[in-house]
Amino acid sequence: MNSFKELVQKRRSYRNFTNEEIDSEDVKLILRAALMSPTSKGRRSWHFIVVDDKMAIEKLSDAKDMGAKFLAKSSLAIVVLGEPLQNDCWIEDGAIAALAMQLQAEELGLGSCWAQMRGRGLSDGTSADTVIRGILDIPENYNVLCVVGFGHKNEGRALQDEEALKWENVHINKF
Ligand SMILES: Cc1cc2nc3c(=O)[nH]c(=O)nc-3n(C[C@H](O)[C@H](O)[C@H](O)COP(=O)(O)O)c2cc1C
């Protein structure tokens, strides 16, 4: 069991995974973390699409030109959605839920990485949101924030370097 202090230091972005599937109990714990995360006004209006179909995950990895190819190696992808017309904090709510899932995954010894989708897309001008909407039948009122890829780690990564922390970005009382 990691203490929270250790967990935040161990959490890194993992983009290389083995083919091993993630245990369904672990998937449930990851989603539980998202569903327990704080939301503006307690709205809890995010939605999560759990994608474990290899073909669909591969299509998600092509939703933008750069930075999502690693998803194809994930055994699980969770698409984080919000409802901008109903919730002015849909981005914040979704981001917090995504991080909660990443920390839970790390505690389980699993790797994960965020693939940004909001505001990203293909060089022909198609947004990643449009591509993903088509793959997963997402209703019009929901927008895609990101896709988090999860899997069993197939690479080692160093702990976060305590010496490299940007303490200079922390200001006391005044900027
Ligand atoms: C808002 C956000 C967007 C990100 N988008 C991507 C992405 O599209 N593709 C990717 O490979 N990593 C993405 N990342 C992961 C970052 O590259 C990574 O967190 C950063 O380089 C620090 O590395 P670490 O997570 O290993 O500490 C994103 C992270 C955040 C928080």
66 touches 74 (CB < 8 A): no
Q: What is the pLDDT of residue 1?
A: 64
Q: Is 115 in the pocket of ligand 1 (CB under 6 A)?
A: yes
**CA 136 to centroid of ligand 1, rounded, Å:** 23
Nearest ligand 1 atom to the CA of 68 is: 9
Q: Is the CB of 67 under 6 A from ligand 1?
A: yes
Which residue's alpha carbon is at the smallest distance from atom 15 of ligand 1?
114
Q: What is the mean pLDDT of residues 73-89?
A: 97
Q: How far is the CA of 116 from the centre of ligand 1 (A)?
A: 8
Residue keyed to tokens 């990564």: 157
Summarize the confidence of residues 24-31 as an average pLDDT: 98
User: What is the pLDDT, as a whole number, of residue 2?
Assistant: 80
Percent of the chain clearing pLDDT 90 (strictly above): 99
Please give the Cα distance from 110 to 76 (Å, whole number). Answer: 11
The pLDDT of residue 70 is 98
CA of 48 to the centre of ligand 1 (A): 19
Please write the tens of the pLDDT for every residue from 106-121: 999 999 999 999 999 9
For residue 146 the two structure tokens come to 């990101």
Residue ranges per domain, the chain?
13-147
Judged against a pLDDT cut of 90, whether residue 160 lies above it is answered with yes
Q: Is residue 133 helix, strand or coil?
A: helix
* CA nearest ligand 1 atom 19, residue: 13
Architecture per CATH, domain 13-147, reads as: 3-Layer(aba) Sandwich (3.40)
Q: What is the rounded average pLDDT of the residues 91-117?
A: 98
As a whole number of Å, the end-to-end CA separation of the chain is 38
From ligand 1's centre to the CA of 13, what distance in Å?
7
